[in-house]
Each structure stands twice: as structure tokens, then as C-alpha cells.
Amino acid sequence: MSIPFAVADMASGTLYTYAGNFRAFKALIAAEYSGAQVRVVNGPPEFVFGETNKSEEFRKKFPLGKVPAFETSDNKSIFESNAIAHYIGNDQLRGETALDQALVIQWISFADHEILPSACTWVFPCLGIMQYNKQATDRAKEDITNALNVLNNHLLTRTYLVGERITQADISVCCNLFFLYEHVLDPAFRKSFENVNRWFTTLVNQPQFKKVIGDFKLCEKMAQFDAKKFSEFMGKESKGGKKESKPPKEGKSLKEGKKEKEPQKKEEVEELDETEKALAEEHKKKDPFDDFPKGTFGMDAFKRVYSNEDEQKSIAYFWENFDKENYSIWYSEYKYPEELSLVFMSCNLISGMFQRLDKMRKNAFGSVCLFGEDHNSTISGIWIWRGHQLAFELSPDWRVDYESYTWTKLDADAENTKKLVNEYLAWEGDFGGKKFNQGKIFK
Amino acid sequence: MLCFEEFQSLANFLGVEKPNVFVDEQWKRPCVETSAGKQLCGLVSISKYLTDKSHQRSLLGTNIEESSLINQWLEYRTVYINQVHQKSDMVRVLEDLDLVLQKKVYFVGNRLTLADISIYYGLHRIFVSLTFQEKEKYLHLSRWFNQVQHVPEVRQTLPVVVFSKSRLYKTTTL
């Protein structure tokens, strides 16, 4: 039963978020009900999570630097998802009477305080994005059970949370329950909450919800803590030695010691944001390289030849098959050679970087070499990957190390490129006078 | 609710011209004349005919499964709900429907369809006669009924049935 709205009353503006953010969904679903004109900015080049929202320009409008953030068409700024949803929504969603409005706020607060924190404690370890702590998880399960009981009793005699129509209370509580219903509330667990199930399924099947969240699939098997995923996640999460001390960077972190201590507190606060981001990315793990044409160069085939044949053969194979239209060759050099101390530490630096770039393996190849000896060494390498842009910018996961290197794109036809590439593939040659110590292959 | 009134309300809700309903002499059934001049009889046929003519044809279902389920409930309405003549008939209907709505908000799919509207019209006369205590016995059905009657376009001139939310009687047999 849609009520016609005067166009002049409708909210309009721009919503900044990362894709798949359940907080942004609260506002986007509200917009589906109200018909508000919302332009969503959630991807490069306009929005890069962790960069755009940390920029000075963004923080001038939204001091927290968090998303979702909304800018009205007459340049007013609103942050906090529920406030944005309130603005974007309509009278039906906000509640028609003062009492209904109060009840809507009541349930929204309930969702943020009674559900969300425990939901994170329970679900995030299962996704490998947070350490598992049995006590904390058990406590969270108990809290969720209590919250679901409250909802279940309330919904026994009611179809929706407030009044007899869908309001923002339904939308916001439902959005905070998404990852519980997706990952851990399996049929056995949710059996005791049939009223909540009925309400939840009805909501996620409304066309206005479906347009924003797509088809929702209820959990079939309760997810458990995934230690392997977690260690992978920690690998790519650790930045600037926050969670993992990386010996080769010791020199650097000493120098930056002061600078690093300060943001630590802030980083912890932001951790939840980062974690939620990782959660959103769970849904669509798309290979960033998919945007570039596949070309004719078979990365796998080349790697096989390189591993199994001697260098002469594999180098010839490389130049015969390399597809310069769709692949590029890069030269990298470590920016802080004066900080490199012992050789084995430098080697750890390289293998650490390789590990963090794991997801690039299908589309990239690299040979990185260490020259010199203890306390007097340099690192440089040759990289080949699909596409012509600096690949590390394609995914936030790959940005940990690359800024410590200078990157030069090489002309695939030039003679000196050929010489350079051949030297790095063979680990043999004059390397411009540098003394080869050892090399590592990213394949 | 009398058939005449129900068709007027339905036509009103659908935004179609009010049908000229008459009772056919031989069988005492409600009938209308179609735009082609044919005589169409019976509650279900006329309800579907009016909906089909309107801009809200999705109330009849948008796929074969939905429309079959809607037909099933329209049939239930005429066979059981309209045939409630004594207390035991009534209890049976209320128990049936309460069970169905335990896990659902609407009879078919996740939205209001002709099934809900027709059953609401059919149950209204029963619900006005129920005590609070009786209504609390059928919590799920009551919840559904309250939701449907809060669509003003559906309820129209029918009196609002009051449900107590204080749940004074804890003797529910769920």
C-alpha cells in the first residue's frame, strides 16, 4: 500500500560506503521505501576504503572518518547509519506518533547494544577475522539467546516491531541480525525462535529489501572458529609491525617509534571497521585482475616451465609467449637499503611480502633478489602481472609492502629490459655491478 | 459480512467499478454480469474476476505456484469458513488457520494477496464474536488478523476488532 509522496519532500544526496556494508543497507533499504534519491559511492576511483574516508577533505565533513556517511544534495553532512536512515526514510518508517517514534528508537538502540557486539564476538572468529576465545564466545551465545528471546516474545503477538507496518526498527534490527542468520543460526539453534524467524524471513523477502541485499540464504550449518583463515587474515592485516614484529623493519620502526605509538589506540578503535570490511568482502571474493583481459600469456604454463626446465629454456619460452598487450613488466627496488641488517632478516622481509600477496599468485610472477652481505645490502626485483597498472592498488590486502619499494614500469621491447629480466630469471649476470647474494621467486 | 458488501469493499480496494450484484433465483447464489454480458456466479469466481480486471493482478499470484496456493485458500474460505454454523466448526477453522500462520506472516508468499483479503472478510463475523480470552487462544491468527485490518484500504467500513496486548490470560495452549 504505497502512499504517494510529494517529490519536494524527498531526501536526496550521496552515500559513501564500502560495498556490502550492512550498516549502509539500513539507509539503502529505507530509501527503497521512501523513494529518496540516493547516489551510492562505494568503489574506486571515487571511494577507496581506508583512503578516501581518512582524507582531510572527507574528515572535514565527517570527523570520524567512518562510513556510511551521507551528504545531502544541499551539502549537509550526516554520519551514523541510523541517523542517515532516519533522514532518508519516510513517516511510515520513522513512526507516525511520538510513541511510535520512541519505540522505533528503542529497537534501533536494542539492535546496536544488545545484538551487534555479541554477534561480532560470536561470528567474527568463525570467519577467521578475529581471535577465538571460548569464554567470550559462550558468553556471546548466551547474550544472543537472551536478545532473541526478547524479540521472540515481542513478535508472538505482533507482525512487525512497531505498529502494524514495517518501520526503521524492523530494518535496523534485521540488518544487525544478517550475519547471525547467515553464519551461525542453523536450523537447530533458530528452532526456538520461530516468531523471529517468521519476521526475519518476511522482511528479507520484501522487494525493497531484496533490491538492496539480493537473495538471503539462511544458515544451514553453524560456522565454527577457523584457525587457518584467521592466521591468513592476520598475515595480511598486520601493518607496520602492529601485530607481528618484522625484524627487517626494526631499524625503521625505531625511527618511527614515536609516530607509531600514537595511532595505535586509534587503530584499535578502527579495527572493528576493518573487520566489518573483511566481513563484507567475504560475500564477494572477486579477483581484482578479472577486470583486465586474459590475454594469451599463460601464467601457469610459464611457471611450470620455469620450475621444471633449465633457465635457458624457460627464458626463451617467456619471450616467445609474453603478451605485452595485456601484461606488464616492472622493476622494484627497496627504498630503505640502509636499514637492512642481517641477510636472513632481509629474506624474511621478502618472503613476508610474498605471503601477503598470496591472492596475486594466479596473475603475477616475481623474482626478487638480495645483493651484498650483512649490514650492506639492497633488494630489487622483476615482476610480471596481468594489466598495465600497479597491481597492488587493486586490493587493499596488497598494499602492505609495496610502498616500501620504488616501482618502474619497463618497456617490454627494449633491449636493456630483456637483459634485466633474463638476469633476474636466471639469477646470473652482472646486475649492474651488484653482488648477487640470493633470490626468491614469487610464483 | 454479506456477499454484497464484500464485493463493494473489494471493488473499492481494487479501484474498479462497483459490480451490480444480484442473486440468481434458482440457486440463491450471488451473480454479476461480466463486461461481455455473461452471467458469472459464486464468491470465488467474482472475487477473482474483479481482481483480474484491476491494476492489482499480482494479488492473484505472480507464478503458477502462488496462484494455485491462493486458489486453495479461496476454496478453503467457501468450503470451511463460510460453513461455520456451530461452535465446533468454528474451533476447527480457528485451530487450522492458527497453525498455518505460526511460521508465516501472510497466507501465501511474503505479501498480502487475495487469499488474505478473502479470509479476512470471511473471518470478520467470527472474530467480532470472540472474547479476549478466545482470541488469545489463537495468537498467530489474531496477530495476522490485526495486521490485515490495519490496512485501511482492506478494512474500509468494517468495525475494528480489538485485541488485548496485555495477555492477561496465561492459559494459552500453544
The confidence score (pLDDT) of residue B51 equals: 95
What is the pLDDT, as a whole number, of residue A354? 87
Instruction: Read off the pLDDT of each residue in B40-53 and give the average, rounded to a whole number.
Output: 93
- The three grid cell numbers given for residue A391, joined into one nine-digit string: 597491481
pLDDT interval class at A404 (50, 70, 90): confident
Contact between A379 and A368 (Cβ < 8 Å): yes
Q: Are B143 and A159 an interchain contact pair (Cβ–Cβ within 8 Å)?
A: yes
Chain A residues close to B106, C-beta within 8 Å: 202
Tally of CA atoms within 13 A in the half-sphere of B161 that contains its CB? 26
How many CA atoms are closer than 13 Å to the CA of B93, on its beta-carbon side?
24
Report angle CA B93, B97, B101 to the nearest 5 degrees.
170
CB contact under 8 A, B167 and A158: no
In percent, the amount of chain A with pLDDT more than 70 equals 86
Nearest-Cα distance to chain B for A32, in Å, is: 16
**A199: nearest CA in chain B?**
B105
Instruction: Check residues A345 and A283 and name the one with the higher pLDDT.
Output: A345
Query: B109: which chain A residues are within 8 Å (Cβ-Cβ)?
Result: 205
Span B61-71, average pLDDT: 95
pLDDT for the residue A274: 66
The residue of chain B nearest to residue A209, with distances taken between CA atoms, is B110
Mutate to test the interface with A, among B140, B143, B161, B173 (most CBs of A within 10 A): B143
Whether B143 contacts chain A with CB within 8 A: yes
pLDDT > 60? residue A247: no
Whether residue B111 and residue A206 make contact (CB cut-off 8 A), yes or no, is: yes
Closest A-chain CA to B141:
A157
Is the ipTM higher than 0.90? The answer is no
The contact set of A with B (CB < 8 A) is 1, 156-160, 163-165, 194, 197-199, 201-202, 205-206
Question: Per the CB < 8 Å rule, is B106 touching A165?
Answer: no
B82-138 pLDDT per residue, tens:
999 999 999 999 999 999 999 999 999 999 999 999 999 999 999 999 998 899 999
- Is the peptide bond prior to A68 cis by the omega test (within 30 degrees of 0)? yes
Work out the end-to-end distance of chain A between its first and last CA atoms, rounded to an integer number of angstroms. Answer: 59
DSSP 8-state assignment for residue A2: P
State the average pLDDT over residues A46-52.
89
Task: Identify the pLDDT of residue A285.
Answer: 56
Of A157, A197, A201, the CB nearest to B139: A157
Chain B residues 53-82 within an 8 A CB cutoff of chain A: none
Judge if the upstream peptide bond of residue A45 is cis by omega within 30 degrees of 0. Answer: yes
Q: Determine the average pLDDT of the residues in B16-38.
A: 88
Using an 8 Å CB-CB cutoff, list chain A residues near B111.
Answer: 206
Which helix or strand (DSSP H or E) is residue A259 part of? helix A257-283
Instruction: Check CB contact under 8 Å for A194 and B103.
Output: yes
Are residues B143 and A164, on separate chains, in Cβ contact within 8 Å? no
Averaged pLDDT of chain A? 85
- Record: contact A1-B146, CB cut-off 8 A: no
- Are β-strands A327-334 and A376-386 bridged in parallel, bridged antiparallel, or unpaired? antiparallel
Q: Check CB contact of B173 with chain A, cutoff 8 Å.
A: no
* Record: contact A202-B106, CB cut-off 8 A: yes
DSSP for chain B? --HHHHHHHHHHHHT-PPP--EEETTTTEEEEE-TTS-EEESHHHHHHHHHHHSS-GGGG-SSHHHHHHHHHHHHHHHHTGGG--SHHHHHHHHHHHHHHTTS-SSSSTTS--HHHHHHHHHHHHHHTT--HHHHHHTHHHHHHHHHHHTSHHHHTTSPPPP--SS--------
Interacting residues of A298 by C-beta distance below 8 A, sequence separation 6+: A321
- Say whether pLDDT at A441 is over 80: yes
Residue given cell 618511527 in the structure block: A256
Instruction: Indicate whether A4 pLDDT > 50.
Output: no
Give the pLDDT score at A381: 92
Cβ-Cβ contacts under 8 Å between A and B: the total is 39
Q: What angle do CA B63, B69, B73 make, to 5 degrees?
A: 140
End-to-end CA distance of chain B: 29
Instruction: Kindly list the structural domains of chain B, giving each domain's residue range(s) and its CATH number in brackets, ordered by start.
Output: 3-155 (1.20.1050.10)
Distance from CA of A217 to the nearest CA of B (A): 15
* Min Cα separation B143/chain A (Å): 5
Cell (9 digits) for B70: 491462493
On chain B, the residues whose CB falls within 8 A of the CB of A159 are 105, 143-144, 146-147
B139 touches chain A (CB under 8 A): yes
Pairing between β-strand A37-41 and β-strand B22-24 as defined by DSSP bridges: unpaired
Average pLDDT over residues A183-195: 95
Contact B143 A158 (CB under 8 A): yes
Best of A202, A209, A211 to disrupt the B interface by mutation (most B CBs within 10 Å)?
Answer: A202
Residues in chain A with CB shorter than 8 Å from the CB of B163 are 157
Per residue in A63-88, pLDDT (tens digit) is 999 999 999 999 999 999 999 999 99
CB atoms within 10 A of CB A190: 18
C-alpha distances out from residue A443 to A12, A380, B35, B55, B97, Å:
49, 16, 75, 61, 64
The shortest CB-CB distance from A159 to any of B102, B103, B147 is to B147
- The predicted pLDDT at position A279 comes to 64
**Helix, strand, coil percentages for chain A (3-state, nearest 5):** 55, 15, 30
**Are B105 and A164 in contact (CB < 8 Å)?**
no
* Chain B, nearest residue to A197 by Cα: B103
Query: Residue A243 and residue A249: Cα distance in Å, rounded?
Result: 13
B87 min Cα distance to partner chain A (Å)? 24
pLDDT (mean) for A179-192: 95
Quote the pLDDT of residue A238. 53
Instruction: Give me the mean pLDDT over the A197-205 stretch.
Output: 97
Band (pLDDT 50/70/90 cuts) for residue A2 is very low
**What is the distance in angstroms between the Cα of A318 and the nearest Cα belonging to chain B?**
57
Residues A101-120: what's their mean pLDDT? 96
Whether residue B16 contacts residue B25, with contact meaning beta carbons closer than 8 Å, is answered with no
Of A178-192, A388-402, B16-30, the one with minimum mean pLDDT is A388-402
Measure CB to CB from residue A1 to each of B104, B143, B153 and give the nearest one: B153
Interatomic CA distance for residues B11 and A410, integer angstroms: 75
Q: Does B111 touch chain A (CB under 8 A)?
A: yes
Residues of B in Cβ contact (< 8 Å) with A190: none
Q: Which residue has the higher pLDDT, A286 or A172?
A: A172
Contact check, Cβ <8 Å, B143/A194? no
Place of cell 529489501: A209
Closest of A150, A13, A172 to residue A95, by C-alpha: A172
Task: Choose from A18-27, A124-133, A289-298, A388-397 the range with maximum mean pLDDT.
Answer: A18-27
CB atoms within 10 A of CB B42: 16
Between positions 12 and 51 of B, the ones with CB within 8 A of A are none
> Chain A residue with minimal CA distance to B142?
A157
Q: Please calculate the CA angle A183-A188-A193 and round it to the nearest 5 degrees.
A: 85
CA B48, distance to chain mean position in Å, is 13
Q: Across the interface, which of A165, A194, A202 has its CB nearest the CB of B110?
A: A202
The pLDDT of residue A6 is above 70: no
pLDDT, tens only, B132-173: 889 999 999 999 999 999 998 999 888 899 887 655 444 443
